[in-house]
Amino acid sequence: MSSPSPAQRTLDIQPFQAMEVFKQALARQAAGADIISLGIGEPDFTAPEPVLDALMRAARDGRSGYTPTLGIPALREAIARYYGEQLGAPVDPARVVVTQGASGALLLAALTLINPGDEILMPDPCYPANRNFISSAGGVSRLIPCHASERYQLSAASVAANWGPKTRGILVASPSNPTGTSIPRPALAELLEAVRTRGGLSIVDEIYLGLSYEAAPRSALSLDDDLIILNSFSKYFHMTGWRLGWMIVPQPLVAVVEKLASNLMICPPALSQYAALACFEPASLEIFEARREIFKARRDFLLPAFERLGLRVDARPDGAFYIFADISAHASDSAAFSRRLLDEAGIAAVPGHDFGPTHGARAMRFSYATATEKLEEAVARIGTMLGR
């Protein structure tokens, strides 16, 4: 008896090379190899003590049942305050939707807003999984080649040049995965206005906004209130496996999102929500800010080190924990160079093919979400491999 055949949409989804590299690295480690991972985008920090304490209190108090679909009111209010006090954008808590990670937020956004055949403009390079959320709703991701001169980001000019009859809107991330670059505020204002004047929608991924290094973080909502914002407790708050995120949507969309979420997800994880309340306490924010400074110091160590290794960084990252480096001085294909790094140096890093075709062959993403001493060892190993 033959097995059921998978739906066509599953055949269109490409493997996520970052996770493939992660699996290979784990297999090598299990076999006894000393592998340094610069591949996976997961902080080496975990949730701080105030959050763990809040989790235990919630568990002991039996707060593990279903919660409201949109999230517990106290957490929605805390997120809204955080945007007003820390990110320069006062928000009505009624517009905040707590989700099962930022992935849950993007899935809800796609299913709420995208009709079959709708085209969403995205920068090339970009986070590969985002394209699959668009296609899951029947939409089409159109990758627009972006270069270092544009900080690898969409611009008002690129929107004007590529907007077509099927274009529904844009999906951008600032700071970005894989480049770590943010869209400068004047350019972001022009970009959002270019979409608005064409009657389109803007989805802005702010997952890494808290990890901004050159200026105080400011939400895109401070420039345009009519946006769909995605965010997460995974990166700045170091709660990856807790699977908790949020979205901020225009008020008219809240009831639609709630209807979808109640059917597809019931509610976000209850204990994670009660624990996350502690993220916004002064003691926790002090910890997160200290850790942000550590990430910045790691970036500042790696950038000149990469330059010495011949790994060119054409757009200086100002956020997240990634460096998007040109490896063409050493190889013509990033996948081959990634394999060589793993085989010869015990270094796991992600080939650029994951993030789009424009820079895929000659670029790689290196994550510095690991201890400084490991980064120092990684630089030494790569230098030995390259004879530098």
pLDDT in tens, 232-274: 999 999 999 999 999 999 999 999 999 999 999 999 999 999 9
pLDDT of residue 332: 95
Q: Is the CB of residue 87 less than 8 Å from the CB of residue 227?
A: no
Helix (H, G, I), strand (E, B) or coil at 1: coil
Please tell me the number of Cα atoms within 13 Å of 5 on its side-chain side. Answer: 4
Write down the mean pLDDT value for the chain. Answer: 95
Tokens of 298: 């790691």
Q: Is the CB of residue 86 less than 8 Å from the CB of residue 217?
A: yes
Separation of alpha carbons 313 and 180, rounded Å: 11
pLDDT of residue 101: 96
pLDDT, tens digit, for every residue of 101-156? Answer: 999 999 999 999 999 999 999 999 999 999 999 999 999 999 999 999 999 999 99
pLDDT over 80 at 369, yes or no: yes
Helix (H) or strand (E) holding 231: strand 228-232
pLDDT, tens digit, for every residue of 318-334? Answer: 999 999 999 999 999 99
Helix (H, G, I), strand (E, B) or coil at 275: helix
pLDDT of residue 1: 53
- DSSP label of 215: S
Mean pLDDT for the stretch of residues 312-323: 98
Tokens of 8: 């066509």
Q: Which residue has the tokens 């979205």?
A: 247
Least confident of 6-10, 32-36, 120-124: 6-10
Q: How many CB atoms lie within 10 A of CB 305?
A: 17
pLDDT of residue 40: 83
Cα distances (angstroms) measured from residue 273 to each of 248, 270, 316: 16, 5, 35
Percent of the chain with pLDDT over 90: 90
CATH number of 49-281: 3.40.640.10
Select 14-46+284-386's CATH number: 3.40.50.920, 3.40.50.720, 3.40.800.20, 3.90.1150.10: 3.90.1150.10
Separation of alpha carbons 61 and 272, rounded Å: 14
Q: Is the CB of residue 195 less than 8 Å from the CB of residue 201?
A: yes
Q: Which residue has the tokens 């894989």?
A: 178
Q: What is the 3-state secondary structure (H, E, C) of 75-107?
A: HHHHHHHHHHHHCCCCCCHHHEEEECHHHHHHH
pLDDT of residue 196: 97
The stretches of the chain forming alpha helices (DSSP H) are 8-12, 17-30, 49-60, 73-86, 101-113, 128-136, 156-162, 185-197, 254-264, 270-276, 282-309, 334-340, 372-386
- DSSP label of 344: I
| Residue extents of the structural domains in the chain | 14-46+284-386, 49-281
Closest CA to 260 of 112, 98, 101, 93: 112
- Any residues with CB less than 8 A from the CB of 196 and at least 6 apart, and which? 202, 224, 226
pLDDT band of residue 374 (cuts 50, 70, 90) is very high
Helix (H, G, I), strand (E, B) or coil at 385: helix
pLDDT, tens digit, for every residue of 172-223? Answer: 999 999 999 999 999 999 999 999 999 999 999 999 999 999 999 999 999 9
Tell me the residue type at 57. R
Tokens of 139: 């939409």
Helix (H) or strand (E) holding 347: strand 347-348
Separation of alpha carbons 51 and 57, rounded Å: 10
Q: Is the CB of residue 377 less than 8 Å from the CB of residue 334?
A: no
pLDDT of residue 288: 98
Helix axes 101-113, 128-136, angle to 10 degrees: 40
pLDDT of residue 13: 75
